[in-house]
Amino acid sequence: MSAGILTFAVLSIIGIALAAVRAFRGSSQRAKLGKVALVKIAALPAGRGGPHRRDQPCAGRHDRRGALLGHARRRRRVRALGEDQPRRAVLPPRPPGAALALRQLLFGHRVTRIITVAAQLKLADAMDEMPRSVAAVAAAVGADAAALHRLLYALASIGLVTTSAPDQFALTPLGACLRSDAPHGLRSWALMESADYYQTAWDQLLTSVRSGAPAFESAVGQPFYDYLDRHPADGANFSQTMKEVTTVIVDAVLAAYDLASVQRVVDVGGGYGKLLTSLLQRYPAMRGVLLDTPAVIERARPQVQATPVADRCELVGGDFFADLPAGGDLYLLQRILMDHDDEASVRLLRNCHRAMTAQSRVHIIQIVLPSSEADAARHLLFDGAMSNLNMFVLGLGAERTERQYRALLASAGFTVTQIIPTRALMSIIEARPS
Ligand SMILES: C[S@@+](CC[C@H](N)C(=O)[O-])C[C@H]1O[C@@H](n2cnc3c(N)ncnc32)[C@H](O)[C@@H]1O
């Protein structure tokens, strides 16, 4: 064999080997990405913030990386074919990881139904961290043992219960959030999510997205808060849900801001008063006014009276668009403005403005939507996006970005003095009369 042929053969073998290594790297990269997507989706039902938790692999980042890899590959392919070849506008899905991940997301409504049925059965109240037999749990909640067995397996698959033997199940900390007496529970939320009035509106999502018209009023026959006013059982469960959510976030909200200098606080649309009574307990010299609709205030009364701060808390039933108690040095609007469009929000803020003194301030406690995907707080995108769509379906307002809040407040005669993120999704937007 001549030296030239030998050199050619060696170079060919090296070339083939390099191509094989590149191909192997590419396929293992694809396999890795597919695996991340599956792990991420599998974690969805059990995770606090769904797939966008900061401490979990971030869907957007990996999807973008996948998209970039695909883009580079496509460019190479197009170059090989010649620039005049038509470009594909849409990336083909990456089988089978993408399809399997999508299939798991499609089970989302089953997951919700499984959890809400557990809440309706008060299953968590009949269980604790010690394993119990299916027969015993079925007898306690009045269910068919064989059917309940399947439900418990489904609940085990999403982390609400564990199973140590084929017919033995125990509650996990996640499942314990469905207990009626859980200090940070969400049983009322589960009941609200499955309530007829809520489902009927969500059933109209396709029509609403096509037409641009919100679903709730046409599906249920009246605006959201009118409906709650006229249906006391649903109204009471909604207020209880708001109280549950406040209980989950209140420590983070109170820890984010020192209010020791405040003497009189007005909680505008304060529901059952969880935020206000927590504030009054933290600051013994503070007095407060809880304002909500007359129906909500009547139901709030026994709840406030059961707290040690009832004597410092005045209850006012009214309409926050009509009149607000004057002279507070702090006005709280927690999860109020997302219920209203810009016009109504400005009206409400101007009402606050009228009731305030020059030294008063308003605290708007809301999710602040990230203004771009590059925003670090990706978990806010999940909660914010879900709430934003929910506001549309229910015919209410919208979640907003920082820029939108600043514009809204400026229109109502306020200047934003600071925006403080809290540990629990919400930010505090502080504004003072300009
Ligand atoms: C989304 S909830 C928030 C409740 C509470 N701020 C919280 O964060 O848990 C909105 C509240 O505004 C009250 N609300 C709605 N329209 C109102 C009005 N026109 N006047 C007074 N309160 C109203 C509702 O009854 C409800 O309690």
Instruction: Decide if 368 contacts 400 (C-beta within 8 A).
Output: yes
Residue 164: CB partners within 8 Å, gap ≥ 6? 131, 170
Both tokens assigned to 60: 């957007």
Alpha-carbon distance of 132 to 128, in angstroms, equals 8
Residue whose CA lies nearest to ligand 1 atom number 9: 242
Q: Which CATH number applies to 197-433: 3.50.50.60, 3.40.1260.10, 3.40.50.720, 3.40.50.150?
A: 3.40.50.150
Sign of the CA dihedral running 228, 234, 239, 244: negative
Q: What is the number of other CB atoms lying within 10 angstroms of the CB of residue 224?
A: 21
107 Cα–ligand 1 center, Å: 32
78 Cα–ligand 1 center, Å: 57
Closest ligand 1 atom, residue 295 Cα: 25
178 Cα–ligand 1 center, Å: 24
**Pairing relationship of beta strands 161-165 and 414-421 according to DSSP bridges:** unpaired
101 Cα–ligand 1 center, Å: 38
Measuring CA to CA, how many Å separate 201 from each of 111, 227, 229? 19, 12, 17
Alpha-carbon distance of 116 to 114, in angstroms, equals 6
Alpha-carbon distance of 395 to 390, in angstroms, equals 8
Both tokens assigned to 106: 């499609």
Q: Which residues pair with 264 in a beta bridge?
A: 287
Sign of the CA dihedral running 21, 26, 30, 33: positive
Backbone angles phi, psi at 363, to 5 degrees: -115, 115
Alpha-carbon distance of 186 to 243, in angstroms, equals 10
Closest ligand 1 atom, residue 267 Cα: 6
Q: What is the number of other CB atoms lying within 10 angstroms of the CB of residue 148?
A: 23
Backbone angles phi, psi at 191, to 5 degrees: -65, -40
* Top mutation candidate among 225, 243, 265, 352 for ligand 1, by most atoms within 8 Å of CB: 225
Residue 331 is given by DSSP the state E
Residue 197: CB partners within 8 Å, gap ≥ 6? 220, 227, 231, 234
pLDDT along the chain (434 residues), means of 10: 40 42 40 34 32 31 39 44 53 77 95 98 98 98 98 98 95 98 96 97 97 95 97 98 97 96 98 98 98 98 98 98 95 98 98 96 95 65 92 97 96 97 95 97
Residue type, 338: M
Instruction: Decide if 240 contacts 185 (C-beta within 8 A).
Output: no
Question: Residue length, the chain?
Answer: 434
Helix (H) or strand (E) holding 174: helix 173-176
Alpha-carbon distance of 295 to 293, in angstroms, equals 6
Instruction: Decide if 116 contacts 189 (C-beta within 8 A).
Output: no
Q: What is the number of other CB atoms lying within 10 angstroms of the CB of residue 205?
A: 13
**327-365: pLDDT as tens digits:** 999 999 999 999 999 999 999 999 999 999 999 999 999
Instruction: Decide if 262 contacts 295 (C-beta within 8 A).
Output: no
Alpha-carbon distance of 97 to 118, in angstroms, equals 31
Q: For the domain 108-178, what is the CATH code?
A: 1.10.10.10
- 66 in helix, strand or coil? helix
276 Cα–ligand 1 center, Å: 13
* Top mutation candidate among 227, 242, 338, 365 for ligand 1, by most atoms within 8 Å of CB: 242
- Three-state SS annotation for 233-256: HHHHHHHHHHHHHHHHHHHHHHHC
Q: Where are the alpha helices (DSSP H) in 256-285?
A: 274-282
292 Cα–ligand 1 center, Å: 6
Alpha-carbon distance of 62 to 223, in angstroms, equals 41
Instruction: Decide if 167 contacts 133 (C-beta within 8 A).
Output: yes
Alpha-carbon distance of 70 to 68, in angstroms, equals 5
Q: Which residues line ligand 1 (CB under 6 A)?
A: 225, 239, 242, 246, 269-271, 292-293, 296, 319-321, 334-336, 339
* Top mutation candidate among 292, 315, 319 for ligand 1, by most atoms within 8 Å of CB: 292
